[in-house]
Structure 1
Amino acid sequence: MNIDWLSVAAFVIVLIFFIIIYKLQKKEVSFTGIILGALAAGVVIGIIFSGHTSWVMPIGKIYVSTLNAIVSPLIIVSILSSITSLGSMKQLKGIGLRSILWLLMTTLLAILLSMGLGLTFGVGRNSYLSLEGIDAQNFQSKVVPFTQVLIGFFPRNVISDIAEENTIPMILFAVLIAVSYIMAANENHEKVEIFKKFIEAVKEIIFKAVDFIISLTPYAVLTLIATATGNGISRAGIIWSLLVLLIVSFIAFAFDMWVINAVLVKVFAKLSPFRFFRKILPAQIVGFSTQSSAGTLPISTEILVDKIGIAPKVANFTAPLGTTIGMPGCAGIWPVLIAIYGINGLGIHYGIKDYILLAVVSLFVSLGTAGVPGTATITTASVLTAMGLPLELIVLSIPISAIADTGRTATNITGAMVAAAIVGRKENSLNDKIFNDIEINDSVETEVIQDSLEEVPVGAGCRL
């Protein structure tokens, strides 16, 4: 048996870098800094050992497989936890349904926006992606009648759906069980309370597993980038394509936050968009600065009640729900742009039907994978898996993901606050006198932002 000693040498050097990464993590060096360092090291190793990374490649593949394995249980437990927390059928039918509807509506609009921008700017075009072991022909769409696509949305056998990674049937099954729990809890809460406790316990365990997998990201970046570079990725092409992806994503974030949401606020909440955005600015700044949707909740709910004039029963329900359902930045714009990046970069032919399916899948996924560590990673993995696209695309986008997370989080927060305003109006729980008469003093605004920045843990939102 012939041994490729250059591949062995590359493997040894990668192990040395693994030790360095581990020590940096122990010293609590910035996660983003470690990832960027791993990226640079991967490129250098790939160039030096071009064509000799066969011993390195399996490590990255194992990470991708592990990430894929956690997606299905995470989808199910996230939906069960989110919907069962609504408490009662009355709450589900009233504020609950309206909140879910408008949170999903903001996400749907973000999906359509990102799809339009991604196709217009040709995200990923001319990047000539070449991923180890991946043949673009394997991802060409098969012609399937629309009726079959529709039937495929509904669960047949939950075990086979999980095994076959059928995302939408899993989501619908979880919704069915969650709603059934609420109905049963209304009749005899004590009898089914153990189910809720079980779900929360499982969620805690799954989230810990996700935390662990995300912590391994720098190691995966190093090996996958080394393999990709060593196998002939056009380095200039991919760097430029990632820059285009980042720019387009921020165009999408800005347009979604201040144009689409302005129309929603004006038409459905019947509020002045300029006054509304000026009042929620502290929450946007905190979200942008800390990348923490959940951590920004104290300031966002306070603004919704004290500055926008929304009743606490609506603000305290819709805003927190917005960290678990919807999330237009993490679950709408980003996964769609990554998918289009891969479609163009791998030269896959997608027709109108395929893009419609991509939009539907992204919307369903937004219902089931939000509010967890590494939300952007999980939602993107879910969408790519459902569409049959390679998960390696996530790793390629990691170098810009940390930057994009600032815009993603601000977009999530804005969408949730807009949804709360609309629900408040529809529920007759919005005080126009408070909204129109109370001005935010600049010094108070600055103090609120500073206090929030000190209290909010950095990176608890979408960050990879």
Structure 2
Amino acid sequence: MSDTSTQPTRRLRLPSFTVQVLLGLGLGVLLGWIALRLGTVGPDGSPNWLTTTLDTIGSSFVTLLKAIVPPLVFLAIVASIANLRHVTNAARLAGQTLLWFAITAGISVAVGIGLGVLLRPGANTTLDPADGSDPTRTGSWLDFLNGLIPANFLGIGGSTQIAEDGTASTSISFNVLQIVVVALVVGIAALRTGKAAEPFLAFNRSALAVVQKVLWWIIRLAPLGTLGLIGTAVATYGWDLLAPLATYAGAIYLGLAIVLLAIYPVILRTNGLRVLSFFRGAWPAIQLAFVSRSSVGTLPVTQRVAERNLGVPPSYASFAVPLAATTKMDGCASIYPAVSAIFVAQIFGIDLSLTDYLLIAFVSVVGSAATAGLTGAVVMLTLTLSTLGLPLAGVGLLLAIDPILDMGRTAVNVAGQALVPTVVAKREGILDLERYASASAEDLFADEPVADRELVPSDEAGAARDGERVPVRA
């Protein structure tokens, strides 16, 4: 009789993370379709139990991601400042990052303007301008200053709403841009303090490691979150409202596809980077952005793929990615407002001049920073329309299908937020080319810390800029 006590137990082997996400996506579409067929409950149009369940699962996952954003951004930027104490090219890195923000935004808005002029979405619709309504929230050029100055140490704000029955509800929100400002000030102050700040910086490093471990656990829930988010989208959004806005929606998604699948690959190839490696590495963040419709909610995943998959040094990624999440929005701040402004002008019978098109480009490139203290593409659109003197009531014509457009917009936003740090790191010779070439979704869950390269171009980094593959992983 054989002794079975010494035989090793066979563990259940789960599918890869990518397969899990795809399974969640497919199952979510199926459940969303079932929920759509179930219809609403009661005369008040309340959602059925399946729609409510899917919404709860998806929104809970996004809430968890957003909850980890404030400590992650703060701790990572303070650690980044501490790592840059001996770096001489930090200012150059910041300047190159902002420059590439502007370059990609300028190209994206040019694509949007071109499609708006060629496809004439406002002239090919059955909508009545009288159906429009003014938005409840607008953007202005002063929003940047208001959003830049922290309201408190943590950049956290709140609002209280009183319902018709007299009950009050309070909601808490945070401003990522303000957290970035606070973290930069604290990090610089710690460096200027000297040895007395070493215990604080050591605690900051330990706290960052703990937060990153919690983030690891949350990201593991991505397949379940994807199921809930895409299921809610299928069950809730007004796909039947696409008919009168088909040309407009088609122009938006065509522009997003051109930027994502044509412009970005050209930028990557021009800088000596393989296109497939980028999309393979950035895919977890892009797909999560599509289903969650939140750049800020996706920020932790975007930063992690930039470091783990694409080879961007953590000390640079922790600065560039949070900044990009608030000011770098090729989908929401470039393509969308350009096509939408032209749509509104056409539907109201207003002819745009060359100066107006130049204003659209200017607002798209600079306006995303102006509205960084706020959220939502609608805010950016109101800034564009008010700058051009177009009727804000046109915004109300587009709100019915905004969630459908927002999925594609956010995916392009996040792709650009991962692209720019990767390109800048490559141009400065600090990109881990070995890690970039072998990028996969599974690298997100590697337990070992990512070694941070010194952010000073060396002879080895110079060889990397010339296209030679060099071993740079520690």
Instruction: Normalising by structure 2, report the TM-score.
Output: 0.54
The 5 A counterparts of 1:354-365 are: 354-365=356-367
Q: 1:345 maps to which residue?
A: 347
Q: 2:465 maps to which residue?
A: none
Q: 2:333 maps to which residue?
A: 331
Q: 2:407 maps to which residue?
A: 406
In structure 2, what residue type is equivalent to 1:376? A
Q: Say if 1:327 and 1:370, in contact at 8 Å, map to a contact too.
A: no
Q: 1:252 maps to which residue?
A: 255
The 5 A counterparts of 1:44-443 are: 93-127=91-125, 130-132=128-130, 167=140, 170=142, 174=145, 196-198=150-152, 204-205=157-158, 240-268=243-271, 270-370=272-372, 372-373=374-375, 375-436=376-437, 438-440=438-440
Q: Say if 1:343 and 1:349, in contact at 8 Å, map to a contact too.
A: yes
Unmatched segments (≥5 aa) in structure 1: 1-18, 33-80, 135-164, 179-194, 213-237, 449-464
Alignment RMSD (CA, Å): 4.2
Name the CA distance, whole Å, in 2 between partners of 1:383 and 1:404. Answer: 18
Q: Say if 2:328 and 2:368, in contact at 8 Å, map to a contact too.
A: yes
Name the CA distance, whole Å, in 2 between partners of 1:371 and 1:384. Answer: 19
Q: Say if 2:299 and 2:321, in contact at 8 Å, map to a contact too.
A: yes
Deviations 1:185-215 (A, max 9, x none): xxxxxxxxxx6455976x7258999x99xxx
Name the CA distance, whole Å, in 2 between partners of 1:122 and 1:207. Answer: 42
Q: CA deviation at 1:350?
A: 1.1
Deviations 1:319-338 (A, max 9, x none): 11111102111111111111
Name the CA distance, whole Å, in 2 between partners of 1:326 and 1:119. Answer: 24
Deviations 1:96-118 (A, max 9, x none): 32222222322221111111111
Deviations 1:233-255 (A, max 9, x none): xxxxx964411111111111111
Distance 1:102 1:31, change over 3 A: farther
Q: Say if 1:107 and 1:328, in contact at 8 Å, map to a contact too.
A: yes
Q: CA deviation at 1:362?
A: 2.3
In structure 2, what residue type is equivalent to 1:410? A
Q: CA deviation at 1:166?
A: 10
Distance 1:306 1:419, change over 3 A: same
Q: CA deviation at 1:312?
A: 0.5
In structure 2, what residue type is equivalent to 1:108? G
In structure 2, what residue type is equivalent to 1:419? V
Q: Say if 1:325 and 1:371, in contact at 8 Å, map to a contact too.
A: no
Q: 1:78 maps to which residue?
A: none
Q: 3-state DSSP class of the match of 1:381?
A: helix
In structure 1, what residue type is equivalent to 2:266? V
Aligned residues: 299
Deviations 1:297-318 (A, max 9, x none): 2222222112211110121211
Distance 1:199 1:251, change over 3 A: farther
In structure 2, what residue type is equivalent to 1:334? Y
Q: CA deviation at 1:433?
A: 2.0
Q: Say if 1:118 and 1:248, in contact at 8 Å, map to a contact too.
A: yes
Name the CA distance, whole Å, in 1 between partners of 2:126 and 2:439. Answer: 52
Name the CA distance, whole Å, in 1 between partners of 2:119 and 2:283. Answer: 29
Name the CA distance, whole Å, in 1 between partners of 2:161 and 2:326. Answer: 17
Q: CA deviation at 1:93?
A: 3.0
Distance 1:403 1:196, change over 3 A: closer
Name the CA distance, whole Å, in 2 between partners of 1:410 and 1:432. Answer: 24
Distance 1:128 1:299, change over 3 A: closer
Q: CA deviation at 1:95?
A: 2.9
Name the CA distance, whole Å, in 2 between partners of 1:382 and 1:329. Answer: 15
Q: CA deviation at 1:420?
A: 0.8
Distance 1:199 1:306, change over 3 A: closer
Distance 1:239 1:291, change over 3 A: closer
Name the CA distance, whole Å, in 1 between partners of 2:158 and 2:382. Answer: 19
Instruction: Normalising by structure 1, report the TM-score.
Output: 0.55
Distance 1:321 1:30, change over 3 A: farther
Name the CA distance, whole Å, in 1 between partners of 2:161 and 2:114. Answer: 36
Name the CA distance, whole Å, in 2 between partners of 1:243 and 1:345. Answer: 14
Deviations 1:127-175 (A, max 9, x none): 36544499xxxxxxxxxxxxxxxxxxxxxxxxxxxxxx9955x478x49
Unmatched segments (≥5 aa) in structure 2: 1-42, 56-73, 133-137, 163-169, 172-240, 447-474
Name the CA distance, whole Å, in 1 between partners of 2:283 and 2:408. Answer: 14
Distance 1:398 1:284, change over 3 A: same
Name the CA distance, whole Å, in 2 between partners of 1:365 and 1:92. Answer: 25
Q: 1:226 maps to which residue?
A: none
Distance 1:298 1:198, change over 3 A: closer
Q: 2:235 maps to which residue?
A: none
Q: CA deviation at 1:271?
A: 0.7
Name the CA distance, whole Å, in 1 between partners of 2:367 and 2:53. Answer: 29
